[in-house]
Amino acid sequence: DVRRAKPNASCPAPEEKRTKPMEPAGSEQNPCSAVYRRPYRDRVIHLLALRPYKKPELLARLQRDGVMQKDKGSLAKILQQVAKWNANDNSFSLKEHLFQTLQTDWPGYTEIDRQNLKLILSGKSAPSQNTTNTSQATSPGPSERDAPARP
Q: All domains of the chain, ordered by start, with CATH?
A: 31-122 (1.10.10.2670)
The pTM of the whole model exceeds 0.75: no
Kindly tell me if the per-residue pLDDT of 109 is higher than 50. yes
Q: How much is the mean pLDDT over the chain? A: 74
Question: How does pLDDT run across 112-137, given as a tens digit for each residue?
Answer: 999 999 999 988 876 554 444 444 44
Cβ proximity of 132 and 140 under 8 Å = no
Helix pair 75-82, 55-65: axis angle to 10 deg:
110
DSSP symbol at 148: P
Q: Which residues contact 92 (CB under 8 A, 6 or more apart)?
A: 48, 52, 53, 54, 55, 58, 79, 83, 84, 85, 86
